[in-house]
Amino acid sequence: MQLNKITIDREKCWFFCRGESSLIIENNIPNELMYKENECSHLYMHGDRILKVCFAQSWPKDSIRKYVWRSQAEREIDSAKLLAELGLSTPKEYFSAFSLSPFNRVESIHEMSFLNDHENLNKHISTRHNSENIVRLIAEDLVTMTNNMVCLKDFGLGNIMYHPNTHISWIDNDIKNFSDKKRLACFLMEHLIPRLLRHIDARDEEVFWNVFRARSIMYNEMMAEYLCCSN
């Protein structure tokens, strides 16, 4: 790990850096490489790599979490490594950094491979001709996670990249570990799975539950939690 002063949006700040970046040139991120910007992050792209600049969302919460635990970038990288170890597809990581100052707008940075042969899943999966296959792939990956007692903290279709008729890849990952099956089942049925089910039709929902029924070690707990939430 080394200490570098990096210029982002004309602002200079000291960062602890790990790995090598091809998008940070002479400790500066060129504005012409801007690919996408939103409230939480800016994305810069060149060739087959993308650089994500993560902004602090709250103070002092983000700063405390960054120094005591891990920065946003490090959490995403560690989560991606864990998913890859489970056999799931994620972008390859090349570089990460977190800001030295707790008051800096930029909380952390990381650079990864750009999945240019993939597309973001939109919220209308049911309108796709291959919606059943997409739902099956999502269900299979979620079963793999939950069978290993881990789950995504935040589930959104915009964080799933789809390679037509082949596989899906997970981005913007932040994994939560569970030690209790009931608590994991509760988290799934109250927070995660409903966010998917409201974007698919009854046929695809049946596909989703068929995968869980056949493969999940938690299916009984999930159904018990489902009945509990319904009453």
Provide, rounded to the nearest whole percent, the portion of the chain with pLDDT above 70: 94
Extract long-range pairs of 183-187: CB within 8 Å, 24+ residues apart.
184/146, 184/149, 184/151, 184/218, 184/221, 185/218, 185/221, 185/222, 185/224, 185/225, 186/225, 187/151
Would you say residue 230 has pLDDT above 70? Answer: no
Q: Coil, strand or helix: which one is 207?
A: helix
pLDDT tens, 151-208? 998 888 888 999 887 889 999 999 999 998 888 988 888 888 888 888 899 999 999 9
Which architecture does CATH list for 119-230? Orthogonal Bundle (1.10)
Which residue(s) pair with 108 in the sheet? 54, 98
Structure tokens at 203: 């046929």
pTM for the model: 0.88
C-alpha 40/C-alpha 81 separation (Å) is 23
The better pLDDT of the pair 89, 190 is held by: 89
Q: Coil, strand or helix: which one is 90?
A: coil
Q: 226: pLDDT confidence band, cut at 50, 70 and 90?
A: low
Domain residue limits, the chain: 2-113, 119-230
Question: What are the two backbone dihedrals, phi and then psi, of residue 73, each rounded to the nearest 5 degrees?
Answer: -60, -45
